[in-house]
Amino acid sequence: MFSSSVTLGDGERCVMPLYYDSNPCEEQETAIAETYYQKLMDNTLLRALGLEEYSNTLSWCLKESISDIYDSNKIEEYFFVYHGLSDFLLKIGRNAKVRKILSDTAIDLVCDLCKYYPKDFKETILCKVKECKNFVDTISRHSYASNYDQLYIDGKASPDDAYGIKGFIIRRVLDNSVPADEFAQILDKLYSRVNGVDVSANKDILRSVYINNELTYNTTVKGNYYSINKTGLSIKPYFMDSPWSSRFQHNLVQCFVGDDGVYYKIVAYSVNYDYRERNYVINPTDNLIIIDNQGNIIYQEIPLDEEEEFEDYEEDY
């Protein structure tokens, strides 16, 4: 586990997670990315099909997706669904032998990551594989077109479904004529292999930031949360455990010290992508919670528009 600490005086504040924290798994991730890049580039059939033309893109995509996988946990990244490789994927998508090379390589990669990421990574992967397997079973029983409509037209599926692994499966079935049963076999193999990885010696948490040795910000694949060092009490503010939690990837933590005790004010920051400027914009919101150093919630504020959005979400889903 990687840990760091920060000391806050009265009125002082900092943003979680700390921007200057290094990636605790960077060395392993770089080594794994290079290993699997070379493994693919050395494959005779893939070279014959023209993979070398995409060598720079493949190298970049492997490094980026592996370094980001712990936070996003998108299994499709390991089936080489990379932006910039779409032409190559369409070119080789109808070749069963190539599909096996890619899926076997992807499964090996996932198992390698399970060996050094915290325990919850393996648990989450297994849950996601079960969910995908159930989805594949449904498209085996129904027409592909109706499943496509469900994901892309009626609006009931989340963006992660439509543009994530489920959308990927549907596109391969429709665009590349890949049998749904083949996906079922791949997912069964993935589940069996990942389930067999021993993670008993792995850490429980990827990264912890200790604030005044009282409050700790913890990073796990299942979501970030705070804990109280004295009691071990876990605290997950409502905005970090909601349908909109992806908006609030950063928090502003401010400390207040007085004769009546120590209090921490945690404000949610929204993270939005500016397509014109091509960068992420981070802004404070009206979502906040105040706790004392024992973990008691003193106050929390949910803006009216957020309450309405939660009601709309519940009605739609």
Q: What is the pLDDT of residues 155-201, one digit of tens each?
A: 444 545 555 677 777 777 777 778 888 889 999 999 999 999 999 99
The number of domains in the chain is: 2
Is the CB of residue 245 less than 8 Å from the CB of residue 225?
no
Q: Which of these ranges, 103-112, 121-130, 225-234, 281-290, has the smallest mean pLDDT?
A: 281-290
Mean pLDDT value of segment 246-254: 74
Query: Residue 108: pLDDT above 60?
Result: yes
Q: Are residues 182 and 212 in the same domain?
A: no
Mean pLDDT value of segment 112-117: 86
Give, to the nearest 10 degrees, the angle between helix 165-176 and helix 144-152: 140
Q: Are residues 218 and 179 in the same domain?
A: no
Tell me the C-alpha distance between 215 and 227, whole Å: 6
Give tens-digit pLDDT for 139-160.
Answer: 766 665 555 555 554 444 454 5
Q: Are residues 46 and 142 in the same domain?
A: yes
DSSP string, 251-262: EEEEEEEETTEE
What's the whole-model pTM score?
0.71
Q: Are residues 166 and 223 in the same domain?
A: no
> Is residue 16 domain-resident?
yes
Query: Residue 20: pLDDT above 50?
Result: no
CA 106 to chain centre: 17
- Name residues whose C-beta falls within 8 Å of residue 246's C-beta, 6 or more positions apart in sequence: 271
Maximum mean pLDDT: which of 63-67, 104-108, 174-178: 104-108
Domain range spanning residue 283? Answer: 2-20+206-316
Q: Are residues 177 and 223 in the same domain?
A: no
> Is residue 251 domain-resident?
yes
More confident residue, 86 or 312: 86
Q: Are residues 40 and 187 in the same domain?
A: yes
Tell me the C-alpha distance between 126 and 192, whole Å: 9
Q: Are residues 177 and 214 in the same domain?
A: no
Q: Are residues 182 and 221 in the same domain?
A: no
> Is residue 126 domain-resident?
yes
